[in-house]
Homo-oligomer: A and B are copies of this chain.
Amino acid sequence: MVDSFHALAKRRGLYFPANESYGGVAGLYAYGPTGTALKRNVEAAWRDRFVSREGNAEMDAPTIVPEAVFEASGHLDGFDDAIVACPECSARHRADHLVEDATDIEEAEGLDLVTIEDLIASRDVACPACGQRLAGQPVDSFDLMFETAIGPSGDQSGYLRPETAQSTLVEFPRLAEYARNSLPFGVAQVGRGYRNEISPRNAIVRSREFTMAELQQFFDPDGDDPPLDRVADVTVQLLPADRADDPNPDTVAYTVRQAVDDGVVRPAWLAYYLGVTRQWLDRVGVDVDRLRFREHDDAELAHYATACWDAEACVDGEWIELAGLAYRADYDLARHAEHSDADYDLFREYDRPRERERTVLDVGRGALGPRFGNRLPAVVDALEARADRDPAAFEEDTVTVDVESETVDVDTDHLEVRTEAVTDHGERVRPHVVEPAFGVDRVVYAALHHSHAEDVVDGEARTRLALPAAVAPTDVAVLPLRADVADRARRLVDRLRRADFEVAFDDSGSIGRRYRRQDEVGTPYCVTLDKQTPADDAATVRDRDSTAQARVALADLPEALARLRDGEATVAELRRS
């Protein structure tokens, strides 16, 4: 079923294995004309919803990232999969996937290597390539990042980014400047990610090079609330981590508001983007009746995440991750602050300066120096801390402090505690991050599957891609049926293209055959120029889904098609008008 879908995708110009003339390479797929147009439309729809409508920014960073960044982010150590090699045929496999296939465990990715080794032995797992038993074979970590050398000397290591996130997060100091140091703000990237998958599978679903659309939403954990009202009533199907033990867990329906109020999804920014995600997937053709949000348990959580919900679509009975919505808290900014010289805090200026009183301790160093010698700085630190905490103690004759596990008494004659007024102009904040991260290819795949329909029209079976007009590869097909309307058809194509329509032109084959070609690639509207056209200067507009038809004057077509595309009219309504 899956393979026949991939074969269909190849025939229709959706996607196909790249470099097949040379035998191809597993996990590298190319998009054909139809697939590229669809993918571009999905990307544009994502930008519209997650960037423009939210007032967020977009950036575009290199996909080659120097080693230091992934050292700081933890990817050099932690971004790997469990691998096992067959002693017979040398094929290498993802060990956790073998365990998932052989057991009831749905997610084995979080298991440690020894546990996976044990399961392979106890369940007698065999090599999927040759059938050899794998019990006793070592399970290792395999680094998923592609490495390359930068520069002519070859001594600078770089990695192809496995996600866009780090290439955004590492630029936080500058991005904060562009946001004029004002939280909350979001920065998105749409671009390539690379993972040297051990066992690529299912075409564009698990490939080695893919397109991601990620948003890093920066916010003050003690202050900023999301604009929850916009999605408060959106219902999301949730599968919380504590239900995953259930062999057949049911999802629970929550409105976004309830999920926040009941504390099921935290923080509120994460719940907000669950709602936005559900709305957006609906808009690009994913059937939201086959959509759930599954929470990661502690074992599955990535090293950087405090919480994570995967948006999963059911395709052919299998749940496929379309997006991961993670709460990264301040993990990344803290790591980059620690590993680099840059400042990953943000200075938030107060609306007006704030006055406060501060306790100050004046120390007679001349008197104390001889007694404490090079321990003096430590003693002064301890005294200052005490003064801050307990100024009244300095009203006694002596004050006692602990310095380096030793109790020290100091004569208060040499100490003066006083208060002074201080003006604060702002405070330092380390933002937290919520991240909706989409696999664009997987969204395309789910939308294709969910839009695939078969029905019977005029007694003939047809295949139809019922994609929403917003993402359909082609807006309109122009179909001249006779030679004497060819010029009119060409002029119409030019006019429609100037009016920003994506236009297909097809002048070969019977009308039924041409309709079928367009139905198969999801073209919402066909315009047929026929033998009447020279007389009435009009053409027939046909709707892909209902097959309803209406006669429209050629001169009115750009406007009529714009109204159809924007949902302001249906073909049936055009006929009546």
Contacts and interface: CB of A to CB of B under 8 A. Distances in A.
A4 interface: no
Interface stretch (A111-119, A141-149, A380-388, A400-408): A141-149
Contacts of A27: 150
A69 interface: yes
A153 B26 CA distance: 13
Contacts of A60: 30-31, 35-36, 39
Nearest to A61: B30
A27 B62 CA distance: 10
Nearest to A185: B33
Number of copies of this chain that the complex holds = 2
A168 to B, nearest CB: 9
The number of chain A residues touching the other chain, given as a range, is 35 or more
B153 A92 contact: yes
Interface string A15-35: 010111111011111111101
Contacts of A69: 19, 22
B59 A31 contact: yes
A340 B22 contact: yes
B64 A21 contact: no
Interface string A336-355: 10011110000000000000
Given A22-B68, A30-B167, A149-B196, 13 more contacts: A16-B174, A18-B65, A18-B170, A19-B68, A21-B342, A22-B66, A25-B158, A30-B59, A30-B61, A36-B58, A40-B47, A180-B508, A192-B192
Interface of A: 10, 13, 16, 18-23, 25-33, 35-37, 39-40, 47-48, 52-53, 55, 57-66, 68-69, 72, 83, 90, 92, 142, 146-153, 156, 158, 160, 167, 170-171, 173-175, 178, 180, 187, 192, 194, 196, 198, 208-209, 336, 339-342, 493, 497-498, 500, 502-503, 505, 508
4 pairs of A and B residues whose beta carbons are closest in the complex = A33-B57, A21-B342, A21-B340, A30-B61
